[in-house]
C-alpha cells in the first residue's frame, strides 16, 4: 500500500508536468486498464499451467516493482515530445502486470478467510493499509512542495520509492501460505467465455454486469478530477493532497466500522446504501471550487467508497462457486478494467465538446457522469440478491445502530495464523 499511496494520485500530475492533453490523460487511464482487462482473462489459465497461484503472484509483483524504476526516469531519458507516450506505455505495462496479481491473490485470500469473519478482518486490515497509503501520499506531496523548482527529481524519487516498496511487498508475499484449492488445478472447469455467455442468468453474473456499468460511469469523470484541480483551479500540491487525503482519512476511520456491519447485515445491504451515495459525489463537485468544500465532499466520498469497495470483493467471494472462483474473479476484474477503459475514453473525448458550466466543461462532465451513475444504480441493483444467511436490517439501524461486542483480536490472530507460515 505504500507504493499505492506514492503513485495513485500522482501519475496524472506527473503527466501534466509533461504537458499532457486532456485526451492523453484519458489514454493514461484507459490504455493501461484495457491491457489489465486482457491480462486478467489469462491469469487463471496461467496459474493452472504453472501449478501454483502463489508462484504467479510472486513473479508478477516482482516484475511490477521493476517497472516503476523506468517510470521514474521518463523525463531524463526521453525527448519532450514523446515523454507522455512513453509514460502511458510504461504505466500500461505496470497495470497489465497488476492484472496477473488480482485473480490469484483474491482466490487465495478468499480460501484463507472464513466467510463469517471477512468483514471484520478486511475492515481492520483496510484501516492499516489505508493508513500506510495515506502516510506515503503525504510524503509524496511534501517532496513535490519542497522540490517545487525541480519536479522531475521529486517525481523520480516518488516512483523509485514505489518500486522499492513493491520489492518489500514481494518478500512478504513469499511468506503467505498457499491453501490447497478445492479441486486440483488441472481439473476441467467452466471456461471464462462459457461463464460470460450466462452472466445475466445468474445472481453473481448480474452483480458483475452492475459493477461493470457503474465502473464505466465512475470513470467518465473520476480521472479528470485531478486535471480540474491542478489545471483549472490551479491548487497547490499541498491542497491537492489535502483534497485527496480526505478520502483516505475517512476510509481509515470507517472501514472497520463498515466491516462489522457487513458481517451482521450482509454485503449487499451495504453495497446498496453506499451505491446510492456515489452519484452525489459528482453532483457535489459542482457546488463550489472552495478547497474546504471539496475536502468535505471527499469526506463524504470516502465514507461511501470505503463501504462499497470493502463489500464488493467480499460479495464476489461469497457468490462465486468455490471450485471456479479464480475465473469469476478474473472475469469480474477484466470487465471492471474494461469499464475503466471505456469510461476514461468517453470522458476524455466527450469532455472538450461539452458546453461550459461556470466557464469550464469539467463541471458539465461531472454532472453528466453523476446522472449516468444514478441511472445505473437505480436500474440494475434491484436484480441482485444477498447470498449470505443474514437477518433483514433497516438502513437507519445499519447506519446508527449499535453492534454486539466483537472478539476481533482473537479472531484476527486465528486468521493471521492461517495466512502466514
What confidence tens digit (pLDDT) does each residue in 239-282 have?
A: 988 898 898 889 989 988 898 888 888 899 999 999 999 999 99
Q: Which residue has the cell 499541498?
A: 238
User: Which ranges of 222-324 does DSSP label H, i.e. alpha helix?
Assistant: 225-227, 237-265, 267-285, 291-319
Instruction: Fill in the DSSP letter of residue 10.
Output: T
pTM of the complete model:
0.77
Q: Which residue has the cell 446510492?
A: 276
Q: Hey, where are the domains in the chain?
A: 2-419
- Is residue 316 a contact partner of residue 329, using CB atoms and an 8 Å limit? yes
User: What pLDDT does residue 245 have?
Assistant: 86
Give the tens place of pLDDT for each residue, 373-415.
Answer: 999 999 999 889 988 888 788 888 888 877 654 455 555 555 5
**Residue 242 vs residues 12, 190, 342: alpha-carbon distances, Å:** 16, 47, 29
Cα(365)–Cα(160) distance, rounded to whole angstroms?
34
Cα(329)–Cα(189) distance, rounded to whole angstroms?
14
Half-sphere exposure of residue 309: CA atoms within 13 angstroms, side-chain side: 18
Q: Which CATH class is domain 2-419?
A: mainly alpha
User: What pLDDT does residue 182 have?
Assistant: 52
- Is residue 112 a contact partner of residue 247, using CB atoms and an 8 Å limit? no
How many Cβ atoms sit within 10 Å of the Cβ of residue 314?
Answer: 24
pLDDT tops 60 at residue 187: no
Dihedrals phi, psi of 236, to nearest 5 degrees: -70, 165
pLDDT tops 60 at residue 418: no
Terminal-residue alpha carbon distance, the chain? 21
Cα(314)–Cα(325) distance, rounded to whole angstroms?
12
Give the tens place of pLDDT for each residue, 94-145.
Answer: 988 888 887 888 778 777 777 777 777 778 778 888 888 888 888 888 898 8
Q: Angle of helix 325-350 relative to helix 362-380, nearest 10 degrees?
A: 150
Give the tens place of pLDDT for each residue, 324-381.
Answer: 788 888 889 889 888 988 998 899 888 888 998 988 899 999 999 999 999 999 999 9
Classify residue 296 as exposed, middle or buried by CB count within 10 Å of its CB (0-12, 13-18, 19+): middle
Grid coordinates standing for 407? 472478539
Cα(356)–Cα(218) distance, rounded to whole angstroms?
20
- Is residue 41 a contact partner of residue 330, using CB atoms and an 8 Å limit? yes
Q: Is 198 helix (H, G, I), strand (E, B) or coil?
A: coil
E-state strands within 315-394: none
Q: Is 360 helix (H, G, I), strand (E, B) or coil?
A: strand
Amino acid at each position: 500500500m505504500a507504493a499505492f499511496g506514492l503513485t495513485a494520485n500522482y501519475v496524472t500530475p506527473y503527466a501534466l508536468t509533461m504537458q499532457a492533453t486532456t485526451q492523453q490523460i484519458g489514454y493514461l487511464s484507459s490504455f493501461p486498464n484495457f491491457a489489465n482487462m486482457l491480462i486478467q482473462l489469462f491469469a487463471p489459465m496461467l496459474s493452472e499451467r504453472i501449478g501454483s497461484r502463489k508462484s504467479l503472484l510472486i513473479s508478477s509483483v516482482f516484475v511490477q516493482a521493476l517497472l516503476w524504476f523506468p517510470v521514474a526516469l521518463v523525463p531524463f531519458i526521453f525527448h519532450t515530445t514523446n515523454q507522455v507516450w512513453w509514460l502511458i506505455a510504461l504505466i500500461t505495462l505496470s497495470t497489465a502486470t497488476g492484472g496477473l496479481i488480482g485473480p490469484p491473490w483474491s482466490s487465495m485470500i478468499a480460501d484463507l478467510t472464513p466467510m463469517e469473519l471477512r468483514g471484520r478482518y478486511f475492515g481492520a486490515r483496510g484501516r492499516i493499509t489505508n493508513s500506510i497509503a495515506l502516510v506515503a501520499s503525504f510524503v509524496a506531496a511534501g517532496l513535490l512542495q519542497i522540490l517545487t523548482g525541480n519536479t522531475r527529481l521529486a517525481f523520480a524519487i516518488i516512483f523509485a520509492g514505489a518500486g522499492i516498496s513493491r520489492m518489500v511487498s514481494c518478500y512478504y508475499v513469499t511468506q503467505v501460505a498457499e491453501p490447497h484449492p478445492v479441486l486440483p488445478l488441472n481439473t476441467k472447469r467452466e471456461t471464462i467465455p462459457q461463464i460470460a455467455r450466462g452472466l445475466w442468468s445468474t445472481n453473481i453474473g448480474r452483480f458483475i454486469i452492475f459493477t461493470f456499468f457503474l465502473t464505466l460511469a465512475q470513470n467518465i469523470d473520476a480521472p479528470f478530477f485531478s486535471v480540474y484541480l491542478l489545471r483549472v483551479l490551479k491548487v497547490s500540491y499541498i491542497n491537492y493532497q489535502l483534497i485527496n487525503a480526505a478520502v483516505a482519512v475517512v476510509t481509515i476511520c470507517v472501514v472497520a466500522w463498515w466491516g462489522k456491519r457487513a458481517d451482521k447485515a450482509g454485503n449487499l445491504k451495504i453495497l446498496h446504501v453506499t451505491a446510492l451515495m456515489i452519484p452525489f459525489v459528482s453532483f457535489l463537485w459542482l457546488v463550489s471550487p472552495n478547497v474546504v468544500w471539496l475536502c468535505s465532499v471527499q469526506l463524504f466520498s470516502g465514507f461511501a467508497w470505503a463501504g462499497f469497495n470493502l463489500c464488493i470483493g467480499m460479495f464476489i467471494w461469497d457468490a462465486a462457486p468455490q471450485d471456479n472462483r479464480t475465473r469469476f474473479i478474473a472475469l469480474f476484474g477484466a470487465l471492471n478494467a474494461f469499464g475503466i477503459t471505456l469510461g476514461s475514453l468517453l470522458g476524455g473525448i466527450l469532455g472538450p465538446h461539452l458546453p461550459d458550466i461556470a466557464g469550464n466543461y469539467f463541471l458539465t462532465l461531472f454532472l453528466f457522469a453523476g446522472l449516468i451513475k444514478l441511472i445505473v444504480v437505480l436500474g440494475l441493483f434491484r436484480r441482485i440478491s444477498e447470498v449470505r444467511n443474514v437477518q433483514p436490517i433497516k438502513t437507519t439501524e445499519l447506519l446508527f445502530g449499535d453492534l454486539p461486542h466483537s472478539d476481533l483480536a482473537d479472531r484476527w490472530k486465528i486468521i493471521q495464523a492461517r495466512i502466514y507460515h
